[in-house]
Structure 1
């Protein structure tokens, strides 16, 4: 078959591998059974009218009842699991349109990864059964239907998935001192309702929200930005803390916004983990850059702070024109603006003797020579044509995959993402399903180096990653290993409007 030709996936995989699991497997013995429902609801976020949302609700059916909790009166779930644990999740769709859940960052079989081909209709059930193979870390889950991921995540279809294991026996903060924080930007009307893509009145829950004429079209192409910041579903978020150390798990849950997190008092941030778990040792950064879907774990110690002290976390300014292609003027909160995120308020004294570990478990060395294509990496250029995004000139096809997107199980490869070939240079957050990778290196075009430098001091490339920011003019090489799971998986931009308008492709893992 000629290079670059399209292979129909159904011809490569037995038909039974495509079946949607609607009932439990009697041969699978789970340690934890959870029921999750995608449902319409209303929540009180601002004073006045309640806000309509689409959120995940659920309960523990069997196993540890503390495995599932919620932030902000149900705004988002937190699912806590252990490495090696066997999980069954009964997912029920109560929305008015198809949906499916993607377990972002986890290594799971293809049929359980949340591919849009597996989206289920209203009233349907999807049963996930898998063993947690990932190391401890801050993962998450979210909706992943074709063309509707941006809308469904925006209206509330997202939650945390926190994995623990023996690697984390370093005396790190636990319980209430281990805080997952989901940061999102939203646009709100006078009635406290979320507004998305210049929607028409009454268009929130239907395909009509994709309207809005030229303004809506540009937002779909450029990426949607809100003008209100929510942390765990709350505006003007203030976290009461004690005089001791905390672990903060920051998730950029926004559709398209890049954040440049920093303390307002100028104290450097201490980074202890990235997308795929703990680093080999803590790192100091003056600020931390997070693209959509990226996560970072911070250590922050409030010991010695007087009760009543406020410590602010901001997003610092950067060259937003470069990130957005210089075409999104007139926004209340444009990309690259300086704005507050949240505050930590020292509310009580607590005796503790927290010590930041000087080292964690060493990460394996990054060995480019282990790649079977070390001298000729696969290249994936971000392209645009006829007002649709693509990769190497191809947009998303539900079952389409090319020979250049086919890899073999058990091998290690180098992939290079190139963001210097499109007629519209914008930042992109490239995510690969079913793997955690290591960043090998970056390069940038000379004429765009200055704009990139307004963010690059906050890159944290030292750990395991599943999503990487690729700025305009930048090329990023990553090293990834494909495990034993075979089948069709996705790679795409996690700026969700980009994904929904074509910047997503399949890749196939074969034996």
Structure 2
């Protein structure tokens, strides 16, 4: 690892050309993106909540000793409830934003960084002009005004840059924050709140000897993603939560660039899951563990009742295999190999409580789409994942501004069936010749493509989707180490697609016309071109 230095596309191509055994890069070349003028406040929009978010350079104490230089969001509430903007203590993460369904929100984003940036409201259903499209990036010194109505149901969402070819490095420096939405359905449940509701953002980072962020600037990072050697939770190492012997609500976001976690308690207490990306499940589910890919969220109820004062419970990332290729595992410089067991945070019971709370049997009602509402039931839109000859594509093409293909044109106010899969072909990911064992990929085919087989978290902007079918062909032993942690019953905006998997999802494209991204949320992959756009027309 080196001191943090943003990876340029030129640096990636130089590294790739040195890998003669892998082949020449097939990435599309970097290009200038046509930009739109910064949006201004509208006199016709009357906000219920108004705030300012400043993107700036700062320093913060993360490790013992010298402070670490970071980039961060700083929030100032202009109008609205006091809890709309809450700074997280001792953390570089952006403030926790809390809105209510139906509120009108105005956010003034000011760029005080040395480069362009833009902010995406991950999971929110907003117009293209407010979505943080890369064309809306603003230069240093500029301000972009976002104005939108909160249309989403209650849930945990988040915000982060979506800057063209700079998303990974900007998020890694510290630009990210959690966003909560409330609604009447959720409030009626009386779920743990206030000090008993704890948001947790999990990220991995590496540091040099001066406590400064270190970032891989090599071909390995570009191809497989960044994997740090320390886990930070809410921006802190070795986080310990002091809790009472009662029920808590833990709302967890994987804010890492590329690392996938397998959440489980050290004493193997089952997890009680009440929600995922798009809000509450219809009823709670008990799981031995939960897989959490970058950008995915999970909502847990944890009851510490009956645990004596001084008891500790540690959340681990448990053991699994098959989600990254053996080549990446061998080359990984991190001391925390993905798929090995390591601690994330600890809950320590410091006081007893007589508070009692019962989990409601019914949590929410999710409107499911009927078959007759799906516009293309017999002809699903493909999202084919390809990693070959150093290329990272979706549907056989790298990201290209205004490169909209016929199947990417979607009529507005329609509901579409979409199929996500790893591309087959001569170097397919789901063929025979499976390599088994700890280092093997789940669906490896023959040749170099098999060696590149890995999981991808696929994120679709706009409204959340339903997962209606998940099939698998490949290494059953590897798949068994993750299968029970995949939650398909709730609404999602990001889904982990393991090697050998094929998913069918149903997604509405309502209300807003424009171009909306779909991409891999392994941020190094996104920056390298594994991103496309739907044109909703």
Q: TM-score, normalised by structure 1?
A: 0.91
Partner in structure 1 of residue 517 of structure 2: 490
1:135-154 equivalences in 2 (<5 Å): 135-154=153-172
The C-alpha deviation readout for 1:468-491, integer Å capped at 9, x for no partner, is: 000011111111111110101100
Name the residue aligned to 2:24.
Answer: none
Aligned counterpart, 1:354: 357
1:51 matched to which residue of 2? 68
1:459 aligned onto 2:460: no
Residues in 2 aligned to 1:114 and 1:279: alpha-carbon distance in whole angstroms: 28
Counterpart Cα distance in 2 of 1:451 and 1:255: 23
Correspondence 1:165 to 2:161: no
Q: For residues 156-183 of structure 1, what are the alpha-carbon distances to aligned partners after superposition, in whole Å with 9 as ceiling and x for unaligned? A: 1100110001011101001111111000
Rounded to whole Å, the distance in 2 between the matches of 1:21 and 1:161 is 23
Q: CA deviation at 1:456?
A: 1.2
In the alignment, the residues of structure 2 paired with residue 191 and residue 324 of structure 1 have an alpha-carbon distance, to the nearest angstrom, of 32
Over aligned residues, Cα RMSD in angstroms? 1.4
- 322-331 or 189-198: bigger deviation: 322-331
Aligned to 1:202: none
Partner of 2:258: 256
1:345 equivalent in alignment to 2:348 = yes
Number of the residue aligned with 1:67: 84
Correspondence for 1:129 among 147, 172, 180: 147
TM-score, length basis structure 2: 0.86
Higher-strand-fraction structure: 1
1:98 maps to which of 116, 119, 122: 116
In structure 1, runs of 5+ residues without a counterpart are 1-14, 199-215
What's the CA shift string for 1:41-75, capped at 9, x where partnerless?
00011110001110100110111222101223342
2:410 counterpart residue number? 407
8 Å contact 1:429–1:469 — kept in the other structure?
Answer: yes
Alpha-carbon shift at residue 222 of structure 1 (Å): 0.7
Mapped contact 2:90–2:235 kept (Cα < 8 A)? no
Contact 1:491 1:507 in 2 (8 A): yes
Counterpart of 1:443?
A: 471
For 2:340 and 2:198, locate their aligned partners in 1 and report how far apart those are by CA, in whole Å: 26
Measured in 2, the distance between the counterparts of 1:287 and 1:136 equals 24
CA contact (8 A) 1:98 1:145 kept: yes
How many matched pairs?
Answer: 475
Tell me the equivalent position of 2:241. 239
Q: Hey, what does 2:461 align to over in structure 1? A: 433
In terms of mean alpha carbon deviation, does 58-67 or 486-495 score higher?
58-67
Structure-2 residue corresponding to 1:266: 268
| Contact 1:105-1:140 within 8 A present in 2 as well | yes
What's the CA shift for 1:93?
A: 0.6
Q: 1:380 aligns with which of 383, 386, 398?
A: 383
**2:100 is equivalent to residue 82 of structure 1:** yes
State the distance in 1 between where 2:207 and 2:254 align. Answer: 19
Distance 1:318 1:177, change over 3 A: same
Check the 8 A contact 1:368/1:440 in 2, yes or no.
no
Q: 1:248-306 CA distances to partner (integer Å, 9 max, x unpaired)?
A: 00100000011000011111000000001000000000000011000000000111211
Which of 373, 396, 400 is matched with 1:397 structurally? 400
Runs of 4+ in 1 over 4 A off after TM superposition: none
